[in-house]
Structure 1
Amino acid sequence: MTTNYPQTVAPSAMSLANLVTELATRGDCRHDPDLHMGPDAFESEPIAERLARQDVAREVCEDCPVWELCLDYALRIRPTFGVWAGHLPRELAALRREVRTLPAPDLGEVA
């Protein structure tokens, strides 16, 4: 996935409030939030419908101009439901675990 967002500041350097503002104003999910979040807690959603909804939500995420910001936000807040930057909560948890196991970069000799 590529980002269309002009990166002048790394997403991880942005405050959560600024990330939320960017996602709310520029994210493609703002046009149909139920697509990404699903029905409310009082509605049931058959498994086949949920899987189809999530697939469509992932497609919307593919070309989103704030995909990278959304991923950063989701990794920080650890959501328990929804589709975030094309990932489900369990997939985001796996990404966090994977990042923790990556070797640290070799910075060479430090003065």
Structure 2
Amino acid sequence: MPQLIFLPHAEHCPEGAVLEANEGETVLDAALRHGIDIEHACEKSCACTTCHVVIREGFESLESSDELEDDMLDKAWGLEPTSRLSCQAVVSDSDLVIEIPRYTINQVSEGH
């Protein structure tokens, strides 16, 4: 079972986290299942960038992003070559090291 290793993030996981994911589930779904509340303002429909993450290790194990995801990512704060929308990044059989960016372009966070 692949592991998702989240680097420390002051709000979402201050100590960092290592969790097990199921092959075929998205990074976002695995994170939410384990209590890491990554924002997802569009309810996982690839219509915003609030679930943007940077894959620090294991990026090559993910299927390529499609054109819609690429268009959304162009709007993300802190875009990097290994950026993905966590609602679209499907876990394979490899471990991933993931960084949740410090900021999002979400104007309103319903959870606050």
Same fold (TM over 0.5): no
Larger helix share, 1 or 2: 1
Larger strand share, 1 or 2: 2
If you compute each CA radius of gyration, which structure gives the higher value, 1 or 2?
1
Higher relative contact order (CA 8 A, sep 6+): 2
> What TM-score do the two structures reach when normalised by structure 2?
0.28
> What TM-score do the two structures reach when normalised by structure 1?
0.29
